[in-house]
Chain A
Amino acid sequence: MSTGTGPSHERIDELIALDAIGGLEEADRAELQAILAEHGDDCAGCDERFAAYAEAAATLAMALEPVGPSAGAEDRLIAAARARDAGPHADGVSDTAPSRPALSVVPGDGGTTDVARDEAPALVRPRRVGRWIAAAAVAAALLVGGVSGFVAAPRPPAGTTQFLSFAAQPGTRFASFPTSDGTTLTVAYRPNERRAWIFGSGLDKPAGGRTYELWWGTKGTPLEGMHAAGIFVPIHGDIIAPVSVDASQPGTVLGVTIEPPGGSPEPTSAPILATTV
């Protein structure tokens, strides 16, 4: 076992310090791995430095004003843990094995649109889709006060992993629907592919087994000409669902309607929300 007093600890001290704060360049990381392998997993000198610099880095975290989890976050965490495991696993379980919590509450401040803030969605303006604007206003009114309190309960975590991966990819854009009273609904999309995600919170579940359906169309497309992008139903108010959207054209219109169970091939009701990308 290394005692940690060898000259190579001068260099590893630097590398561990940089690693603790997230400052390693790729070449540095390779060097750190090589030195760690040389020292062995039980090197007391390395352990000592890992501990000391982790604590130093944590100082930066501890200096921040704590931010409380959103309502129900703790229960969702426990539910997610229970849902995926009978209990904790022993050592060796890969950290990359997905065991994700259900979606958290999305803030109502439009924070998720900032990746493409200069492309922030505007209300639909063309004559053909003017009714979408009115419908959106109606929808907002309907949603105000109609949103039941958030119920913390176990929910299926399906999709969260894929969504996070999608959202993190370069080129992802976000188009938020105009909502109010804390309700949020956003489409994450990339202009050159159909795959997209819709996510949000605070939506009421449609009555009678009906479903929300997302539609897309190029600028000026009449309601009946909109393309179905996918259906979604909130679970405890929250939504995360894969959809299919062609947003390759500027001004692509997105709309949401309430449809019969299973969705419809074309809109059967006035849109309740609309936006453009």
Chain B
Amino acid sequence: MSHGAIVAATHGAVVAVGSVEDAADRDLVRRVSEGDDEAFRDLFRRYGPVAKALALRVIRQPFLAEEIVQEAFLALWRAPGSYRADRGSVRGWLMSTVHHRAVDLIRREEAQRRRIEEMDPTDALVEDVGETVTEQASLASRRAAAVAALGALPTEQRQVLEMMYYQGKSQSTIAGELALPLGTVKSRTLLGMRRLRTVIGGDPA
């Protein structure tokens, strides 16, 4: 079986679960908008660990990563109506919020380059002091699909996506570091994103 076929097969299972998950998440947000802090806790338990992993991957400082995650969730608490169901899942919205905050922070840090060079990203995750996480089965399945989807990307596309998303680098910075024309970086990014969109199921075509 080809790698792509594995992705597709995994994806099929996730989509079925995903629609239920997404509906449940939207219901949690609705309850949060009514002041239900148990729903708020549920969302945090569900997505807090992934959000922290993302923030940590971007900014490399556990202390600030956790702060960013907490800020993102508090933003949801304060203004649950800022989530728009017509623009995607709660999961995607939360990750986007965390990512934007983390990237905004790191781009204001003059020592970004030094930090990245000095710290192995895998070390950052391994050394974190967070509690042990027991992944929910549905999230574990989704994670497996995500890993497979990324693995199925051509290396050059995956490389620019990871530099942009995980390291908060701009297109021009990536172009400089990889000694590539800016247009090449942009085209690789777009090809990678469109491929992910198709594999994950967001492509209406």
Contact = CB atoms under 8 A, between A and B. Distances in A.
- Chain A, interface size category, equals 35 or more
Contacts of A14: 186, 190
A30 interface: no
Interface in A47-90: 47-48, 50-71, 73-74, 76-78, 80-82, 84-85, 87-90
A63 B128 contact: no
Contacts, number: 281
- Chain B, interface size category, equals 35 or more
A148 B31 CA distance: 36
Contact of B95 (A47, A61, A171): A61
B95 to A, nearest CB: 4
B1 interface: no
Given A67-B53, A168-B109, A108 B129 contact: yes
Contact of B37 (A54, A78, A105): A78
Contacts of A94: 79
A25 B169 CA distance: 10
Interface in A18-69: 18, 20-23, 25, 47-48, 50-69
Given A17-B193, A59-B149, A99-B74, A64 B57 contact: yes
A154 B12 CA distance: 43
B16 to A, nearest CB: 15
B114 A62 contact: no
B49 A67 contact: yes
A85 to B, nearest CB: 7
Contacts of B10: none
Interface stretch (A110-118, A206-214, A263-271): A110-118
A133 B182 CA distance: 52
A97 interface: yes
Nearest to A72: B131
A22 B87 contact: no
Contact of B70 (A18, A53, A101, A199): A101
Nearest to B148: A63
Contact of A68 (B52, B61, B87, B139): B52
B161 A60 contact: yes
Interface of B: 32-35, 37, 40-41, 44-45, 48-54, 56-57, 60-64, 66-67, 69-71, 73-75, 77-82, 84, 86-89, 91-93, 95-96, 98-100, 103, 105, 108-111, 114-115, 118-119, 124-125, 127-133, 135, 139, 142-143, 145-147, 149-150, 161-162, 164-166, 168, 170-172, 186, 189-190, 193-194, 196-197, 200-204
Report, nearest first, the 8 A-B pairs whose CB atoms are least far apart: A52-B202, A91-B81, A66-B49, A68-B130, A87-B35, A54-B92, A51-B88, A68-B131
29 contacts: A17-B190, A18-B186, A18-B193, A20-B193, A23-B170, A25-B170, A47-B86, A51-B86, A52-B88, A52-B202, A52-B203, A54-B92, A54-B93, A60-B146, A60-B165, A62-B143, A67-B49, A67-B125, A71-B131, A73-B48, A74-B41, A74-B48, A93-B78, A106-B63, A111-B62, A114-B61, A168-B105, A168-B108, A168-B109
